[in-house]
């Protein structure tokens, strides 16, 4: 897992695009959860670069921010 964190940190310094594994580590979810969210919806925006799926860090941050709650009774 440290390797994933290191790669995500390096990617953030260089390219703003993360692989599914890096994006999952960045937002604290499993890679499989992000893959499922791409199929059923509800996840962060992603982009297709040829056959590769990439997540932009700004899209991940915006998605995370949009899910902020103040209490458990928030919808």
**Structural domains in the chain (count):** 1
Band (pLDDT 50/70/90 cuts) for residue 5 is confident
**pLDDT on residue 72:** 85
> Between residues 9 and 22, which one has the greater pLDDT?
22
* Tens-place pLDDT, residues 15-69: 889 999 999 999 999 999 999 999 999 999 999 999 999 999 999 999 999 988 8
**Does residue 74 form part of some domain?**
no
**Does residue 72 form part of some domain?**
no
d(CA 22, CA 17) in angstroms, rounded, equals 9
Evaluated on CA atoms 58, 62, 64, 68, the torsion sign reads positive
- The enclosing domain of 37 has a CATH number of 1.10.1660
Contacts 24+ apart (CB under 8 A), 25-33: 25/1, 26/55, 26/57, 26/60, 27/60, 27/63, 27/64
**Does residue 61 form part of some domain?**
yes
**Does residue 51 form part of some domain?**
yes
Band (pLDDT 50/70/90 cuts) for residue 1 is low
Query: What domain range includes position 19?
Result: 2-65
**pLDDT on residue 8:** 72
Report the relative pairing of strands 52-56 and 17-18 from DSSP bridges. Answer: antiparallel
**Does residue 8 form part of some domain?**
yes
SS3 state at 68: coil
**Does residue 14 form part of some domain?**
yes
């Amino acid at each position: 897992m440290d390797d994933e964190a290191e790669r995500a940190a390096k990617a953030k310094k260089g390219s703003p695009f993360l692989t599914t594994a890096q994006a999952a580590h960045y937002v604290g979810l499993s890679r499989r959860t992000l893959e499922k969210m791409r199929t059923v919806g509800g996840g962060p925006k992603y982009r297709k670069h040829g056959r590769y799926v990439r997540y932009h860090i700004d899209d991940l941050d915006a998605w995370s921010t949009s899910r902020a709650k103040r209490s458990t009774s928030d919808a």
